Structures are given as structure tokens and as C-alpha cells.
Amino acid sequence: MGSFSLDMRAFADKVKTRNNLVVKKIVIDVGTALVLKSPVGDANYWQSPAPAGYVGGRFRANWQYGLDAADRTITEKTDKTGSTTITGLSGSVGKQASGHRHYLTNSLAYGPRLENGWSRQAPHGMVKLTMLEFQPIVNAAAQAIRASS
């Protein structure tokens, strides 16, 4: 009887580990999609000249990760490529990802305008498009974790 109990415990631990890995990958992949879809300011298209020293990428840099609560932090940082933001999001998602609510937020005041077509770079927004990709992201994450086990 003891070995069956140990086998079931090992199976349960394996399932829990895989669930955590899948959820973590989903959160990171959704975050990556949001960051990369986010427009980077290009003053060439502006009606008014850019302020002195202007560098685009502030919206990309303001994607925040929150575990069980939204993170409404706003930063002055910029990230034109999105790589620093993606690395930060990836590092924030813990190993015990399953069973929690994960929030990806951008609290800049002009976010809703960008989401609703204000940018030539993102005329269809970021969040809406990423939500359309959600099920394929979930499927790909599950398949990737399955393949690596």
C-alpha cells in the first residue's frame, strides 16, 4: 500500500509542476505579445515637434506584472525594443504560478487611446489582438511543456 501512495504523490507532484510551468509560460507569452504589439512613439508623424531629448518606448516600458493584484506602477523608463520589459515580466512570474490570478497592466493615461486605434503602429490595439491569440498561446504552452518533459 505504501508504494501506491508514493506513486500517487509523485504523479501529483509532476502534474503540479507541469501546471505551474504551463501557467508561467502562458503569462510570459501573453506579456511578450502585449509588449511587442505596443507602439513606440515616432515623432516623424506628430503634428507638433517632439520635446527635446524625446525617446520613444515609454508605453512599452510600462507593462507591469502583478500576482493576485494589478500593479498600477508608472515608470519614466523607455524600452524601444521591449526586451528589458519582457525580461522583467519573465523574471517576475514565480515558480508557483498555478492557482493564482496574473495581471498584465499598463497604467499610462493614453493606453486606452492606443488600444482604440490612435497609433498607426497599432491601429487595432494590443490587448484585443492578444486576446484573439490567447487560445493558441495556451495550446502552444501546453505542447511545449509536454514536449520538454
Neighbouring residues of 59: CB distance < 8 A, sequence distance ≥ 6: 38, 39, 40, 41, 106, 108, 110, 111, 114
Angle between the 83-92 and 2-37 helix axes, to the nearest 10 degrees? 160
Question: How many domains does one find in the chain?
Answer: 1
Q: Encode pLDDT of 114-147 as tens digits.
A: 999 999 999 999 999 999 999 999 999 999 999 9
Contact call for residues 59 and 108 (beta carbons, < 8 A): yes
DSSP 8-state code for residue 49: P
Arithmetic mean of pLDDT, 97-114: 97
Question: Mean pLDDT, to the nearest integer, of 62-75?
Answer: 98
pLDDT in tens, 17-56: 899 999 999 999 999 999 999 999 988 888 899 888 889 9
Q: Are 70 and 104 in contact (CB under 8 A)?
A: no
Range of the domain at 108: 2-47+55-148
